[in-house]
Amino acid sequence: MNQVLRTHNCGELRSSNIGQEVTLCGWVDKSRDHGGTIFLDLRDRYGKTQVVVNPDCGEAALRTAKELRGEDVVRIHGVVESRLEGKDNSKLPTGEIELRANRVELLNRCKTPPFFPGQEELPSEDLRLKFRYIDLRRETMRGTLVKRSEIIKSMRDYFADNGFIDIETPILGRSTPEGARDYLVPSRVHWGHFFALPQSPQLYKQILMVAGFDRYVQVARCFRDEDLRADRQPEFTQLDLEMSFVDADDVMGMIDGLMAKLAQEFLGIELQLPLPRLTYDEAMQRYGTDAPDLRFGMEIVDCSDLAAQTEFRVFRGAVDQGGFVRGIKVEQRAADFSRKRIDELTEFVKNDFGAKGLAWFRVEPDGKLWSPISKNIEEPVLQGLAEKFETQPGDLLLLLADSWDVTCKGLNGLRKTLGAELGLYDPKQMHFSWVVEFPMFEKDEDRWVAMHHPFTAPRTQDLPLLESNPSAARAQAYDLVINGYEAGGGTVRIHDQLTQSKVFELLSITPEVAKDRFGFLLDGLQYGAPPHGGIALGIDRIVMLFTGLDNIRDCIAFPKTQRAMDLMTQAPGTVEDKQLHELHIQVETPPAK
RNA sequence: GGCCCAGUGGCGCAAUUGGUUAGCGCAUCGGACUGUCGAUCCGAAGGUUGAGGGUUCGAGCCCCUUCUGGGUCGCCA
């Protein structure tokens, strides 16, 4: 009778449609059977509509409706009617109307599912992942994926409006031993040779600049075979871009504009531009991390100078060994910290960050610092601490005496934990900032390694430092930080051979090795490479932050578990011997347990 | 690889801290009901506590091993 399966969706009918004959398709979200009258909540991507079936609708319709169960797929033909006086449902946009059915058609029966999309308690995550098609029917999951789609569209529009062109780069590429562990793809044609999936399109986009494409952008899938976290998946999506004839300010300015647009469209907030900038050194000193959560204070205070004046061995010893004594202040909440809680925090900094212990002081009503260790510390030093931290009665001080690294990591860990626990910020609040001037190099055991990648340009004023003092050299690198998450990072690249050679030399990358690994880029740089720079934004993380979620899996339709498995498809799986044979691969027998 | 948390009918939780027959809500199945929207009411079925081993007169609970999921450190240029 009807040529079309449906005339409307389940989210669009309103009072203005009253009297119309329509056909809806969808899933039975819920049915309420009153014997004579049956109410069905029909659900699809767009919303829910209430369907009424009663004896006036015909026996066949009533009989079919009676047998419907949750998640059955149905098609309903009927007339849009106003709900009875006072029976509107204000929770639904379609709540003023209902569909009086005259035909009820079961399109497909649903087995009793392990859980229902509408149920109040969320099932365990492994079950949600195994039955992802059911989990994705949940309103929040649907909402997140819709918003993700809208965010990506908005990004693409922005860059298109700014003259960027979208160019795809290969997924099958070449392994570069630096950086994260690669996912490898064996070559059938080339015995013993492998492709690597891209960790990022880094080298290709630089080549595109050499090719003159000027402004490139891509929504790029990236792969890194490293252990997972709440904000890390083995495959993830970057908004990757590169620009020619620009400096760091130009790139950051472009992203400032993007963030302002996204914040306005999706959060309804007006960002003040330019976004605040913080140097790497400042970030480490004040927050102990290169990605600080700036929604609250609780800044780190360095009291190493005072520690040098005490005989107390823990403090003095740390400083004498070239370490630091640094701490944070919990304002007015000392009473919230039981001895047990402080013990837990001590275990936390010991276990997770290798701290030797946690020193703490309570500020007494008379303003004096009290601690189990305060009797070991000279009065002037205690007073100095109080002044340095600008303490008030009721404050709590937490101090670490350790290496720079441990104090940074430990205090950052404490600050993040306590900031959330004490509710020092509104979880809905958003803070955008840049961290700039990263070091060019860091020491890994005895050798220098690139902090970002070996093509990162140093600040021009730091060029002489490459020879004299590499550790002091700062890069033209910038990270976008949102709420304590690294939401993106980029650099201005080296575009001249001389600087590139110097950097390689420092990184102990011989010309031969360099030629072998990325000879094509080095060649390219000699054929008219423009100055260029770019950035990559973590789309999954940005979606996570913009939707207020605390893990990245909920922003991805089909994510992997912590052990990098897909519970729905059971990937990765074994393959047939024939396939292995074709690829010239032998699988080792796992060691006996 | 280290540390931490969790695993009990299909789902979410409980079990007085080692003591009778493992309990509740939702879902499922059957019945009743013409206005519900987390419908309601009556009834039924359904678990040996992730797996293996140990301690004990007795283990969901204690110990060891292991599997799965999650958090985190290392790792992630």
Residue A309: count of CB within 10 angstroms of its CB: 16
A127, closest nucleotide (Cα–C1') = B69
Residue A526: count of CB within 10 angstroms of its CB: 11
Give me the percent of chain A exceeding a pLDDT of 70. 99
Pairing relation of β-strands A277-279 and A432-436? parallel
CA of A343 to C1' of B18 (A): 30
A41, closest nucleotide (Cα–C1') = B37
Cβ within 8 Å of residue A6, ≥6 positions away: A23, A24, A25, A75
What pLDDT score was predicted for residue A575?
A: 93
Tens-digit pLDDT profile for residues A304-358: 999 999 999 999 999 999 999 999 999 999 999 988 889 989 999 999 999 999 9
Cβ within 8 Å of residue A261, ≥6 positions away: A154, A158
* pTM listed for this prediction: 0.95
Tens-digit pLDDT profile for residues A527-556: 999 999 999 999 999 999 999 999 999 999
* pLDDT-based confidence at residue A588 (cuts at 50, 70, 90): confident
A55, closest nucleotide (Cα–C1') = B34
CA of A136 to C1' of B36 (A): 27
Is the backbone of residue A38 left (phi > 0), alpha (psi -120 to 50) or beta? beta
- Does residue A589 surpass a pLDDT of 80? no
Residue with CA nearest C1' of nucleotide B37: A89
Place of tokens 């060019």: A440
The dihedral built from the CA positions of residue A331, A334, A337 and A343, taken in this order, carries a sign that is positive
ipTM value greater than 0.90: yes
- Does residue A1 surpass a pLDDT of 60? no
Contact A538, A546 (CB under 8 A): no
CA of A39 to C1' of B43 (A): 24
Q: Which residues pair with A361 in a beta bridge?
A: A397
Tens-digit pLDDT profile for residues A451-479: 999 999 999 999 999 999 999 999 999 99
CA of A592 to C1' of B66 (A): 14
Contact A185, A208 (CB under 8 A): no
Cβ within 8 Å of residue A300, ≥6 positions away: A285, A286, A287, A288, A326, A327, A328, A407, A411, A415
How far from chain centre, in Å, is Cα A137? 23
* pLDDT-based confidence at residue A446 (cuts at 50, 70, 90): confident
| Mean pLDDT (whole number) for A483-511 | 93
CA of A39 to C1' of B5 (A): 43
The protein footprint on chain B, as nucleotides within 7 A of a CB, is: 1-3, 10-13, 25-29, 32-40, 66, 68-77
CA of A226 to C1' of B3 (A): 19
Helix, strand, coil shares of chain A, percent, nearest 5, are 35, 25, 40
A200, closest nucleotide (Cα–C1') = B77
d(CA A284, CA A286): 6
Token couple for A297? 């204070």
Mean pLDDT of chain A: 94
d(CA A498, CA A491): 18
Tens-digit pLDDT profile for residues A414-441: 999 999 999 999 989 999 999 999 999 9
A351, closest nucleotide (Cα–C1') = B3
* pLDDT-based confidence at residue A81 (cuts at 50, 70, 90): very high
Place of tokens 């009424």: A52
CA of A350 to C1' of B8 (A): 34
| Mean pLDDT (whole number) for A481-494 | 97
What pLDDT score was predicted for residue A489?
A: 96
